[in-house]
Structure 1
Amino acid sequence: MADDLYGRVAGLLQGMTHDQLSEEPQRVAGLVVPSEKGLSRRQRIEQALANLTQKQLARLALKFGADRGDIPLDEAGRKVLEANDPPISHITRRDLARVFGDDLAGERGTVEIVGRYFVLSTPIEDLLGSSGQSLRDQIDRHMDQNPGDWSVEHLFSEIGAFDCSNARFGALLEEAVHPLSRSGDDQAGIVVALNKILARDGYELVQESELSGHPIFGFRPVVRGVGGRPKNLIFASRGPKSEIGFADAINNDIVILSGEESCLVYDRPIGASGLLWSELVTWWGEITPGADAAKLGARLQESLASDAERKLFATYFKAYRSTLGEALPALLPQVYLHYDPAVVKTLRRRLPLPRQRMDFLILLPSRQRIVIEVDGKHHFSENDLPSLKVYANMVSADRELRLAGYEVYRFGANELVGDSAEARITDFFDKLFHLYRIRQ
């Protein structure tokens, strides 16, 4: 698989002229191809690819595949990236095909949705011995013009859906249950039936958005999100805890009573797609005339309490702002989880709420909430002495968060400083984004 991927990427580059090698790989995939005089195209390509890991090579394949509509190249990259993922077995794929019977596309054409993800130009010989027609022609004939000639199980066999990558197979299922294909009870019933089978291998179809009131489903590994919808985010705290109240308790509209300069409050609706950096920047620009992304970043950095936190925050944007673009999730620092508008010390028989603030929070699609904590010595000590009580309070609060559906990841502060810090941070986020299918 690795040699095949290298050969495909190298072969694509070999088809470019010297001038194209100097521009196109960098434009499409951020790959710089050396341009020293006297080097042949082959030598330039070998030098450009020499130190890439298999995952880096696979990401190149995805970018080139998307740019050129090269399905085999895209597929080769996806299989490398999915090497450690739970497979969707042939049996599961067969049983999913049987749920559809002989109708994969519903209100749409089968060729229309299958042709987006599979090569249909290959000539085949059908059951009647008719040869010379492409697979596209045969699908059109046996599924769109004459429904019932082919079952979806037979279709899967012809297009290679039993052996393709999980991502490609999942994308095909997404198309099959899209509102343009199915709606109402038909859509709801088939999603339930598919999820019952997908669960055996650890996958599911989950509503991610809507189209004119109709749910749009996304394919993903089974993960457990947080119940409810985020209504207010109080974050970027950089001073004394602000006092808050409700301008409208029915609508859950917050008003800052004092200390407004100490924090930010994002009170716009956050849907099933989570919160993106681009959405946060738009909000910031509207409430702070003349402000831009750079000024928002500077304001957020003011709330960071240590060099380790600043390193994580800076590396996140350095590594992913350009590669993920509009798909970049917002990384929110110093977010209040528990918030008592009253001053706790004025209350009798009342202890402060635990884990009042999280170092970082990311809101991902499908109600996934990622908490990142950077642990300094105060997480384990009291008055500079090791404290089992402090440690116990911390792990107890972690348990409560996880039981509520949050995912909690901890870094020791010493992990986030020094020469290896950036590599450690990007390795973490690479794996996190792969797990939750965050892609450009």
Structure 2
Amino acid sequence: MQGTQVKSALIPLDTLREQIAQAIATAKAYDVPSVCVRLGIQQAVADGDEQEAFGSKRMYVRRRILSWDEADLLALAARVLREYASEDLENTVSEMTVHAAHRVSALVRCDVLKALNPLETLFGEMPLIDCLSEVFGTSVIQDDPVGLLGRNSLHGQIIQHCLRNDDWSHEELLRKCGALTCSQTRFFALLTKLLHPMIRRDAEQGELASAIDAALSRDGFTVRQTGMESGYAIYGVCRAQAGVAGTMKNLIFASIGEKPELVFRDAVNNDVEIVRHADKVLVFDRFLPSSGLLLWKDLRDWYAELQGISDPISAKEQLFRRLRQAVLGARSAGEFAVFQGYYERYGGLLGDRLPALIPQVYLHYDPYTRVGRESCEILKKTT
């Protein structure tokens, strides 16, 4: 978080309140009361509210959410982030939700940093200061805005020990930047940056991915290829899952008629072919994000490309109708209630952060080869 170090997922609720208030305080003072109404902080604008907001926009918001519990504050934070950009708030929400249960220990972070020392350069040919600022925040790296600290500032020390001279190891540099105490979101962003093909490619990229993966595995995390860019691998950090390693493929779902008939063309690589009723189902064939979680926006963007829809709102509406049609076709009142209730309750609340609820997922294993299937079909027709 920019200018803020997070040492654990146990973040005080007052920190969350403060960051919510600071994000809303970027609005004009005379708009703050109406913003609070729109965000559900207060029911209506009362006499004197605008004058109070002019006194302190931040305190105006804080006073109205002092008694809110964690669940309500997190829901409010999600609404705020849809209107106002705040790196601090976004990182805090991530720490309290996505990264709350599974943590990378300081010991493992140390092991990861040591694995970086053999690298010739940390960020390849990219500017060191710019890359560090992108990962840790400009206010952390360029921490001397008025020039009073000189060489004593972190920015000055980096220039002295990493650019003019070369007497800091990569590990020492990243420790100085806060890699051992920063948010887990930021720590993973550092690793993703180090493994990006703009920084390193091919053998060097693969070797570093393996070294980081070996260290993270102690805490149940893994480095995994999450996508491709211009033919180059994109890596991310995610929770290690039990079972066969590899990328997700063959997500076949949302039938609106007969169930699809599937065969494995390559059992080792899990390559599946739909041999009948392919026109009745949807097939999501993209990489999952590094979190391992398929979000509604990912599904929407894929569907928009599949159908040639340029308007995201239209794509969202058409995709929802298509999924709803599949659920209705199942003729299950319980399934429909869960599907409809989930998107009604959480769609507006979480927006782009909404995990996709996938209806009617199919995975049927057919051991027959194509010749075997054709023989069986002929046999059925002649008996």
In the superposition, the TM-score normalised over structure 1's length comes to 0.60
Match of 2:273 among 252, 270, 294: 252
Amino acid in the other structure paired with 1:96: V
The unaligned stretches of length 5 or more in structure 1 are 125-129, 348-440
Corresponding residue of 2:335? 309
Residues 75-133 of structure 1, C-alpha deviation per residue, up to 9 Å, x if partnerless?
44444336742332222212211111174322322222221232223239xxxxx7366
Match of 1:318 among 333, 344, 350: 344
| Structure 1 residue 3 corresponds to structure 2 residue 3 | no
Question: Aligned in 2, Cα 1:16/1:164: closer, same or farther, shift over 3 Å?
Answer: same
| Other structure's SS at 1:115 match | helix
Residues 227-246 of structure 1, C-alpha deviation per residue, up to 9 Å, x if partnerless?
676447253355xx458699
For 2:192 and 2:178, the matched residues in 1 are separated by 17
- How far apart are 1:147 and its partner, in Å? 6.0
Question: What does residue range 389-408 of structure 1 map to in structure 2 within 5 Å?
Answer: none
For 1:90 and 1:23, the matched residues in 2 are separated by 44
- How far apart are 1:172 and its partner, in Å? 0.7
Corresponding residue of 1:264? 280
Residues 261-303 of structure 1, C-alpha deviation per residue, up to 9 Å, x if partnerless?
xx822357444456713423554578xxx99345424423422
Question: Aligned in 2, Cα 1:14/1:230: closer, same or farther, shift over 3 Å?
Answer: closer
More helix per residue: 2
For 2:37 and 2:231, the matched residues in 1 are separated by 41
Corresponding residue of 1:112? 130
| Structure 1 residue 97 corresponds to structure 2 residue 106 | no
| Other structure's SS at 2:329 match | coil
More strand per residue: 1
Say if 1:59 and 1:77, in contact at 8 Å, map to a contact too.
no
Residues 27-82 of structure 1, C-alpha deviation per residue, up to 9 Å, x if partnerless?
8xx55554422243378625752564325535655776797665444444444336
Say if 2:262 and 2:272, in contact at 8 Å, map to a contact too.
no
Say if 2:144 and 2:150, in contact at 8 Å, map to a contact too.
yes
Say if 2:78 and 2:349, in contact at 8 Å, map to a contact too.
no
Corresponding residue of 1:176? 194
Match of 2:175 among 148, 157, 160: 157
For 1:313 and 1:148, the matched residues in 2 are separated by 58
For 1:302 and 1:296, the matched residues in 2 are separated by 10
Question: Aligned in 2, Cα 1:208/1:71: closer, same or farther, shift over 3 Å?
Answer: same
The unaligned stretches of length 5 or more in structure 2 are 1-11, 310-314, 367-372
| Structure 1 residue 199 corresponds to structure 2 residue 221 | no
Amino acid in the other structure paired with 1:252: E
Question: What does residue range 24-423 of structure 1 map to in structure 2 within 5 Å?
Answer: 30=39, 32-38=41-47, 39=49, 40-41=52-53, 45-46=61-62, 48-50=64-66, 52-58=68-74, 70-81=86-97, 84-101=100-117, 103-118=121-136, 119-123=140-144, 131=150, 134-143=153-162, 145-146=163-164, 148-224=166-242, 230-231=249-250, 233=252, 235-237=254-256, 241=258, 252=273, 254-256=275-277, 264-267=280-283, 269-273=285-289, 276-280=299-303, 282-283=305-306, 292-293=318-319, 295-322=321-348, 330-338=356-364
Amino acid in the other structure paired with 1:87: R
For 1:315 and 1:51, the matched residues in 2 are separated by 28
Question: Aligned in 2, Cα 1:36/1:71: closer, same or farther, shift over 3 Å?
Answer: closer
Two-structure CA RMSD over aligned residues (Å)? 4.3
For 1:326 and 1:65, the matched residues in 2 are separated by 11
Question: Aligned in 2, Cα 1:122/1:61: closer, same or farther, shift over 3 Å?
Answer: farther
For 1:211 and 1:82, the matched residues in 2 are separated by 26
Amino acid in the other structure paired with 1:6: R
For 1:134 and 1:53, the matched residues in 2 are separated by 39
Name the structure, 1 or 2, with higher relative contact order (CA <8 Å, separation 6+).
2
Query: Which range is displaced more, 210-219 or 44-53?
Result: 44-53
For 2:166 and 2:345, the matched residues in 1 are separated by 50
- How far apart are 1:26 and its partner, in Å? 7.9
